Amino acid sequence: MEQNKNKIEPGMGRTIVVAIPCYNEELTIVKVIRGFRNILPEAPIHVFDNNSSDKSAEMAQKEGAIIHYVRKQGKGNVMQAIFDAIDADALIVVDGDDTYYAEDAPRLLDPILKGKADMVVGNRLVNVTDYSMRRLHQFGNRLIVGAINFMFKVDYLDILSGYRVFSRRFIRTVPILTPGFETETELTLQALEKGMEVIELPISYKSRPEGSESKLRSFYDGRRIIMTAAMLLRDHHPIRLFGVISLVGFIGSAAAALMRIINYLGVATLPDKLLTGIIIILSPLSVVSLAIGLILSAINTRFRELNQISSRGKFND
């Protein structure tokens, strides 16, 4: 009965599409498709199969889903294929592992359909429990979110959620370059760079069914996510990254110079040759890093200006 109350119909000519990335999810894919069809009976459901070795694609097709085969392995490659294939007013992307609830879709869709957001992210970490997500993964998620918030001066809550809704403008204008699980981080930071409105809403989250295994490799993928964030920081905010390097070089060379003076006054610290080497290396590094940051920042500013001018009047929806 409750599910029927949550049903929504695409209205006023608005198109809603559900896309499900899928890799070896034969235990869960049918339930996920049925759940979203019950909540969104008029919305087409697309399953993007990423080289599954089980019967995921076959089972999804029997349920009436539209099947796309993505040969390049990785969640990011699947997201690229989704954005290339789908054109809709609202695009729901949800993992096929049955850890998310279709009943949350109407709340996530609402800001997109009302034009209040370009991307709505389902925040798992508000209601997560030790049963639904292992403590190590909870810690890793919060550690990554904290690091990215620090780097980009933002206040996001769940960077890595696999349950999102995108506007047509987002689908058309945001590039996806990363091939793996770091794609969720890239999507959020690219939206930030393009000045798009991102809203995070709390959702329910459940554990995988017995026999279903996570594709996430905690430490390997965690390292790739942080590296992706660092590269995006370099690309979009170079003065922050190179400014920090410059500051570290300046402090190091200044400290070495101070110790040389102390040595000259007769108080032994480190050998003079070592201190001289530190000064010779860090002083130019500090100056060059600052110069690189300033030059790249100026180039980025010009590109932002050109991009803003070229996009004016491009979209009327």
Name the band, by pLDDT with cuts 50, 70 and 90, for residue 22: very high
Residue 120 lies in a domain: yes
User: How many domains does the chain fold into?
Assistant: 2
46 sits in which H/E element? strand 45-49
Angle, helices 183-193 vs 218-236, to 10°: value is 20
Answer yes or no: do 179 and 304 share one domain: no
Q: Which two tokens stand for residue 245?
A: 């390097």
The CATH number assigned to the domain holding 118 equals 3.90.550.10
Answer yes or no: do 58 and 133 share one domain: yes
pTM of the entire predicted model = 0.76
Report the percent of the chain where pLDDT is more than 70.
Answer: 85
Angle, helices 29-39 vs 105-113, to 10°: value is 50
Task: Give the other-Cβ count within 10 Å of 34's Cβ.
Answer: 14
Answer yes or no: do 42 and 178 share one domain: yes
Name the band, by pLDDT with cuts 50, 70 and 90, for residue 3: very low
User: Length of the chain, please?
Assistant: 317
Q: Which two tokens stand for residue 22?
A: 């899928």
Which residues contact residue 235 at a Cβ distance below 8 angstroms, ignoring those fewer than 6 apart?
300
Which domain covers residue 135, as residue numbers? 2-235
Last residue within a domain, chosen from 213, 235, 257: 235
Strand-pair category, 119-123 with 198-202: parallel
Answer yes or no: do 218 and 248 share one domain: no
User: What phi and psi values does residue 17 have, to the nearest 5 degrees?
Assistant: -130, 140
Higher pLDDT, 90 or 264: 90
Last residue within a domain, chosen from 235, 262, 296: 235
Mean pLDDT of the chain: 86
- Residue 267 is predicted with a pLDDT of 84
- Residue 251 is predicted with a pLDDT of 94
